[in-house]
Structure 1
Amino acid sequence: MQLILQEKGIVPISDNPQRLSDVAPEIFKSLPSKKSVKKAVKNGLVYVNGKKGHTADYMSGGELLELYQDCSVKNKPVIDIPIDVIYEDEFLAVVSKPAGLVVSGNKKRTLENALPANLKKSKQEGALDYPEPIHRLDYPTSGALLVGKTRKAVIELNKIFENREITKKYMAVAVGEMNTAGIVEKDVDQKYAKSAFKVLHTVVSDKFKKLNLVELTLFTGRRHQLRQHMASLGNPILGDELYGIEGLILKGKGLYLHSFLLEFYHPFLDKPMKLTVQIPNKFMRIFPDSLEK
């Protein structure tokens, strides 16, 4: 790794020793939460008195904490997959992730590896050769994805997510009879998770009895959260082979879950942003009178 010092600070003296994960957010402006600290520590970017830190390390005061950035380009491939760019400036972009493409990972064919070929490199200081996705969408999920184009932008946009200062809305097709609207608060992977749903339209189906066009709002960002929450209501998302009801799974058409709206305040241009991505045609074929082309 090619590490560059980003921030440093001295832990205040305290009679009650605290874990590194509790102290670091008070020292580092770019790590506003325990979650972000744990991620940085896991990646070997936090040092305590010159040695790599661990989240369980106890700080009594007087320790020198240093936060580094990994600026090395790890010989990542650039792949030529056309990605629709919904919005782009020197700091960030919103792209439309196709269904059936992973956002990042060890595979060559990822959205992250396709970004350099689809976005213009920023002219700002700290421009990234590989723009960085700020959040994730599941492999079968399509739609709006926020991307940081500079190191500072990645830090600020991560803060927006950590502080839940962004609105994320999805469109889904849910199976079965269901209430018109509601809130779901149900833990996912033993962590608090909250979603909201609102039925926009319902059609009768011979196979599924009823199919519902549902607007979903994501308040927390747990893995598979919306899919698990809808399944917990007895209304799984159409095409969900993991959480669907046996015998009521539509195969070959993919998952009917699409991120259609991101709304947040631009941390650099000082203006509100409301960005939408067109609903896929497969939704329109089920609800031709409810969705505009």
Structure 2
Amino acid sequence: MSQAIQLTGTIEPHHEGKRLDQVLADLFTDYSRTRLKEWILGGKVQLDGKVCLLPKEKVMGGQQVEIATELEDDTRWQAQDLPLNIVYEDEHLLVIDKPAGLVVHPGAGTPDGTVLNALLHRYPDIAEVPRAGIVHRLDKETTGLMVVAKTIPAQIRLVYALQKRRITREYEAIVVGHMTAGGTVDEPISRHSTQRTMMAVNPMGKPAITHYRVAERFRAHTRLRCRLETGRTHQIRVHMAHINHALVGDPVYGGRLRPIRNASVELSDFLRTFRRQALHATMLRLTHPITGEEMEWHSPIPDDMVQLIEVLRLDSAEHPDDIVWV
């Protein structure tokens, strides 16, 4: 089933010079800016009778805007009784500590069994919030903290804070190769040109900045603390692979597992069977979207990464003078 949508309005003088998607969000407050942008890109929006396909097009005062589209009923998003590890909750937001293997949002190949499905069961009213309050995601096999908005005002302000880089997210990562110092990767990221499930560094992509510092060095690996300045899909994974220090266990960007000279059987076996990217969202800091309170949460490193660190420490102790750079 679908619902026909017919919207009309007039661009006001104070809107002149602003982006079309911004103005539409101001005129038609019942719909999210993301949805309105999709309608623009889909050719559903006309200015003075002419189809406009550019969300960033600057508008002029007095223009007539028309939107003719359909709103599909999305029956894929079903409430499901699934466990969630809630580390904080109030009437406006909640913070989840996500385990490995849990998908955040339904998509191709994963129609249910996600964080979103669990949220709809636990908080039925969250269905009124865009994407059930999910304002940022973690990859399926990445663990750790993520914030969810429970109300529309909280969602709007959290999305704005993310866009303005006012939410701090730090990750623990273990990468291949011995690194001597931290640094910053400032390389734009876009969808891979041929493999559409992957991302890649691309000069024409969206800006992406990852700061990292060395937390611990091993003989052939390094433990990093990464801080996101932007939040592109797979950002840390892509950036670390770009500087030839892919995450341990990354099945997409890690390439073929290379043997490490003089490695023990235990280490070789552990690395071969560590089948997820060694990445954990360990710290989240933000200003509460309603109260203005500064808030911060921490999540301990999960057991599988703790075991990986212990094995790497043992290997370093057994070979103190043998460094493997990459």
Q: What TM-score results when the alignment is normalised by the length of structure 1?
A: 0.77
Q: What is the aligned counterpart of 2:229 among 214, 219, 234?
A: 219
Change (3 A) 1:168 1:62: same
Partner of 2:140: 139
The answer on 1:162 being equivalent to 2:163 is: yes
Equivalent residues in 2 for 1:30-179, closer than 5 Å: 37=33, 40-42=36-38, 54-55=53-54, 59-63=59-63, 74=75, 76-106=77-107, 107-117=111-121, 119-120=122-123, 128=129, 131-179=132-180
**1:102-144 deviation line (CA, Å, top 9, x unaligned):** 2112311211101134x45669xx9659732101111221111
Change (3 A) 1:3 1:99: farther
Look up the equivalent residue of 1:55 and give its one-letter code. L
- State the distance in 2 between where 1:266 and 1:3 align: 37
Q: Secondary structure at the match of 1:287?
A: helix
Structure of greater Rg? 2
Partner of 1:279: 301
Deviates further, 46-55 or 179-188: 46-55
Deviates further, 188-197 or 248-257: 248-257
Partner of 1:207: none
Partner of 2:182: 181
Deviates further, 72-81 or 229-238: 72-81
Deviates further, 169-178 or 77-86: 77-86
Q: Secondary structure at the match of 2:175?
A: strand
Q: How many residues align?
A: 272
- State the distance in 2 between where 1:30 and 1:276 align: 40
Partner of 1:25: 22
Whether contact under 8 Å (2:178, 2:217) holds in the other structure is no
- State the distance in 2 between where 1:121 and 1:9 align: 36
Task: Give the CA deviation at 1:247.
Answer: 2.5
Q: Secondary structure at the match of 1:102?
A: coil
- State the distance in 1 between where 2:14 and 2:230 align: 35
Gaps in structure 1 of 5+ consecutive residues: 205-209
Q: What is the aligned counterpart of 2:280 among 258, 261, 265?
A: 258
Q: Among the aligned pairs, what percent are the same residue?
A: 28
- State the distance in 1 between where 2:277 and 2:100 align: 8
Partner of 2:217: 202
Q: Secondary structure at the match of 1:161?
A: helix
Task: Give the CA deviation at 1:242.
Answer: 1.2
- State the distance in 1 between where 2:13 and 2:234 align: 40
Whether contact under 8 Å (2:24, 2:33) holds in the other structure is no
Q: Which structure has the highest helix share of the two?
A: 2
Deviates further, 126-135 or 229-238: 126-135
Look up the equivalent residue of 2:286 and give its one-letter code. F
Q: What TM-score results when the alignment is normalised by the length of structure 2?
A: 0.69
Q: Secondary structure at the match of 1:114?
A: helix
Look up the equivalent residue of 1:227 and give its one-letter code. R
Q: Secondary structure at the match of 2:133?
A: strand
Q: Which structure has the highest strand share of the two?
A: 1
- State the distance in 1 between where 2:174 and 2:168 align: 20
RMSD: 3.9
- State the distance in 1 between where 2:287 and 2:66 align: 29
- State the distance in 2 between where 1:29 and 1:114 align: 31
Look up the equivalent residue of 2:161 and give its one-letter code. I
Partner of 1:246: 256
Q: Secondary structure at the match of 1:231?
A: helix
- State the distance in 2 between where 1:30 and 1:226 align: 37
Task: Give the CA deviation at 1:150.
Answer: 1.2
Whether contact under 8 Å (2:12, 2:61) holds in the other structure is yes
